């Protein structure tokens, strides 16, 4: 992913993202966890388990979409002020290859952060035998909300 260098609005950004992520019941249910948080860039890791797969043994597209959307949302939130939350308003994800791997990394990177709407590039990489393959790529629009 490419992008411009951005700075967090405050030193407490990582704690705010981690605290919000901890309230994500759906992500806890599927076993997703924060992998890295930096201003404007968030990665979420999901280890493969058969119950997260579809009929051909690949990670279900719903799981890929979930970690990509969440990574994009938290990338946006990482540039928000304290007391602001995030909500996805639009999402487009292209599935590029079967999601086959030992684990998956959902990435979100801020493209443009605005007063109300933030645009983020999202992707999912499948890691198998130490090699990552891009399996999903897209974009989200995230809305800044007062908590």
Spatial CB neighbours of 33, under 8 Å, sequence gap ≥ 6: 27, 44, 45, 46
DSSP secondary structure, the chain, as one string: --------SSTTHHHHHHHHHHT-HHHHHHT-EEEEEETTEEEEEEE--GGGB-TTSSBPHHHHHHHHHHHHHHHHHTTSPTTEEEEEEEEEEEE-S---SSEEEEEEEEEEE-SSEEEEEEEEEEEETTEEEEEEEEEEEEEEEE-
CA distance 126 to 103: 6
What are the tens digits of pLDDT across the range 3-41? Answer: 445 666 677 999 999 999 999 999 999 999 999 999 999
pTM: 0.93
Question: Is the distance from CB of 35 to CB of 47 less than 8 angstroms?
Answer: no
Q: What is the pLDDT of residue 2?
A: 46
What are the tens digits of pLDDT across the range 41-64? Answer: 999 999 999 999 999 999 999 999
CA distance 51 to 57: 9
CA distance 67 to 69: 6
Task: For residues 90-117, give the mean pLDDT.
Answer: 97
């Amino acid at each position: 992913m490419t992008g411009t260098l951005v700075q967090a609005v405050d030193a407490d950004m990582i704690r705010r993202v981690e605290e919000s992520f901890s309230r994500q019941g759906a992500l806890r249910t599927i076993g997703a966890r924060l992998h890295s948080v930096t201003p404007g860039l968030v990665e979420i890791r999901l280890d493969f388990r058969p119950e997260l797969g579809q009929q051909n043994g690949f990670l279900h597209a719903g799981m890929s979409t979930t970690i990509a959307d969440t990574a994009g949302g938290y990338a946006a939130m990482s540039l928000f002020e304290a007391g602001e939350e995030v909500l996805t308003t639009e999402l487009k994800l292209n599935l590029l290859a079967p999601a086959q791997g030992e684990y998956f990394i959902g990435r979100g990177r801020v493209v443009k952060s605005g007063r109300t709407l933030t645009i983020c590039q999202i992707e999912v990489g499948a890691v198998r035998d130490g090699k990552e393959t891009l399996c999903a790529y897209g974009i989200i629009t995230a809305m800044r909300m007062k908590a």
